[in-house]
Chains A and B, each alone.
Chain A
Amino acid sequence: MAFGDHEGDKSRWIVSQCCENVAEMCDSPLNNLCCGAGGGAWAMPYTEERLAYGKHKADQITKTGAELVIAPCHNCRDQIMKGLAKEFDMGNYKETMYIWELVSESLVYEPWSEEEIKKAHAERDAQFERDGVELEELE
């Protein structure tokens, strides 16, 4: 994935399968901006610069009017949730989720059958024995 390759359209499709009323970050993906924590900046000691960079993103988020922001990576999520949300007033904003968190929370699925559970537990026990892992709560 790189700037301008429109690979983000795949993420947009995934999000649209999980939510109604999806708002675009801005008019065109080419006007979309890095959150400010990319390239290792989240771990860098330049907090002031990171937040000043992120102000562009905070303004974009405010303009969408959205409550929930979907982030495609760990750094973006931390920057928006722990950086920008604390530093700036982002209007209706309430929370940030990883895209895989959104998918996970949207899942409707059947629990496994008794047979599948038994098989999984047997595999698990064999693995624990191989690795010398002992869990008291089990049995």
Chain B
Amino acid sequence: MQEPITIDRSNRRLGTSPELADVCFACGTCASGCPATGLVPGWDPRKAIRAIALGLEQEVIDSKFPWVCTLCARCEYVCPMGVQLVKTLRGCRILRERDEVPGPIHKGTIMNFERGNNLGIPRDDLLFLLADLGPEMEEDEKQPCPGFYVPVDKEGANIIVTMNSKEPFAEPDDMKFWWRIFYAAKEDWTVSSTNWEGVNWGLFSGDDENWKIQVGRVLENARRLKVKTILYPE
């Protein structure tokens, strides 16, 4: 027989305000509409919320479920009690020990903090790559853009654009789609030579501090270059 569960609600770190877990009445609507239900044996969003309401939050934090959940918010949209499932499930990610965050997202977050982008691409490498891609755009066979170059650190531009580090790293030609749109629209745009990363892995890894730092840097770039609009192609 299974050991009886002793409920301890006094030392909870999650779900302590009513909209988080306590108002759940176990209807199961969330679980029936969740595409992740059944993917992690023993878990679905209802069980996660019930476990938290019953004081078993550590079990949810230790489980794979909050990471297989895509934070898509379908459950939250349908919950008749307004339980904030996404905030709660992401809350489980926050409470994971940092060295137990699955995959590269914690490493990427720290890399971003230390070097300004998730993959640690050095400033000079980026500048050279961007310069190199200019003539390719100008001479493109199908859609040539004579006069095109990537404006870097251009003060007073109309739009500042963040980049996804996987593109300069592995798929540089994919940056040309946006660039051609800017060219055709004669947009006055720019990118920053530092802290240009648009992928904010702190959001996914549950690292609020670095999440905020990165957003702050994107803002700071816009302020430094006196640009009014930020474009996040993420």
Contacts and interface: CB of A to CB of B under 8 A. Distances in A.
A43 B204 contact: yes
Contacts of A109: 183-184
Contact of A33 (B35, B131, B135, B193): B35
A34 B71 CA distance: 9
A107 B152 contact: no
A107 B184 CA distance: 8
Interface string A119-139: 111011001100101010110
Contacts of B74: 3, 33-34
B134 interface: yes
B50 interface: no
A2 B203 CA distance: 15
A44 B152 contact: no
A67 interface: no
A36 interface: yes
B99 to A, nearest CB: 14
Contacts of A120: 147-149
A45 to B, nearest CB: 5
A44 B131 CA distance: 33
- The 5 lowest CB-CB distance pairs between A and B, nearest first, are A40-B204, A117-B147, A38-B70, A39-B71, A109-B184
A93 interface: no
Interface string A35-61: 011111101111001101100100000
Interface stretch (B4-12, B102-110, B216-224): B102-110
Contact of A131 (B135, B144, B178, B193): B193
Nearest to B179: A104
Interface residues of A, number: 47
A74 B40 contact: no
B108 to A, nearest CB: 7
B134 A124 contact: yes
Contacts of B14: none
A88 interface: no
A76 to B, nearest CB: 10
A38 B71 contact: yes
A132 to B, nearest CB: 8
A44 B103 contact: yes
B113 interface: no
Contacts of B71: 38-39
B26 interface: no
